[in-house]
Amino acid sequence: MRVAKVEDDEQLAAEWHEMMGRFRRLVCNLDRELENKHGISASDFEVLQLLSEAPAGKLKIHELGEHAHLTQSALSRLVARLESMGMVERCMCEDDRRSVFATITAAGRKRYSQARPTQRAILRAEAAQSL
């Protein structure tokens, strides 16, 4: 019985390795194409997408962090970079002075709209390869 579990664990580990390799290749492709064509990274795109889909185009930074797949410090640097590029603004929450909102700007919406077809094309190409 133990042999079956080891084999299952080995299969699980092999599938995990394959999935992580596919993920890394996809992120590298996204980073390269989004940077070359639109001057943003895959993580920048992800944050712009989250903000563009949020009510009023804004989220509290900690809410953004729950969905952005980044550490808090990496998210802070990313938001600061997007802010310096004019794509995001930070402002204090009027109801809770401890909270900070990130809001997508018109420039951020424009860059997201321009980059979205590139991102979707890369995702479609990856999906086609895996079939």
Residue-wise pLDDT tens digits, 41-61: 999 999 999 999 999 999 989
Of all residues in the chain, what percent carry a pLDDT higher than 70?
93
- Domain housing 92: 2-130
Q: Phi and psi (nearest 5°) for 59?
A: -140, 150
Confidence tier at 6 by pLDDT (50, 70, 90)? low
- What would the pLDDT profile of 67-112 be if each residue is shown by its tens digit? 988 888 999 999 999 999 999 999 887 776 678 899 999 999 999 9
Cβ neighbors of 65 (< 8 A, separation 6 or more) are 72, 75
Average pLDDT, integer, range 3-30: 86
Mean pLDDT of the chain: 90
Q: Residue 35 belongs to a domain with what CATH number?
A: 1.10.10.10
Higher pLDDT, 110 or 1: 110
**Residue 7 CB burial class (10 angstroms; 0-12, 13-18, ≥19):** exposed
Residue 73 amino acid letter = S
All residues at 6 or more sequence positions from 50 whose CB lies less than 8 Å from its CB, including other chains: 59, 64, 67, 68
pLDDT at position 24 = 93
**Confidence tier at 1 by pLDDT (50, 70, 90):** very low
pLDDT at 90: 93
How many structural domains is the chain composed of? 1
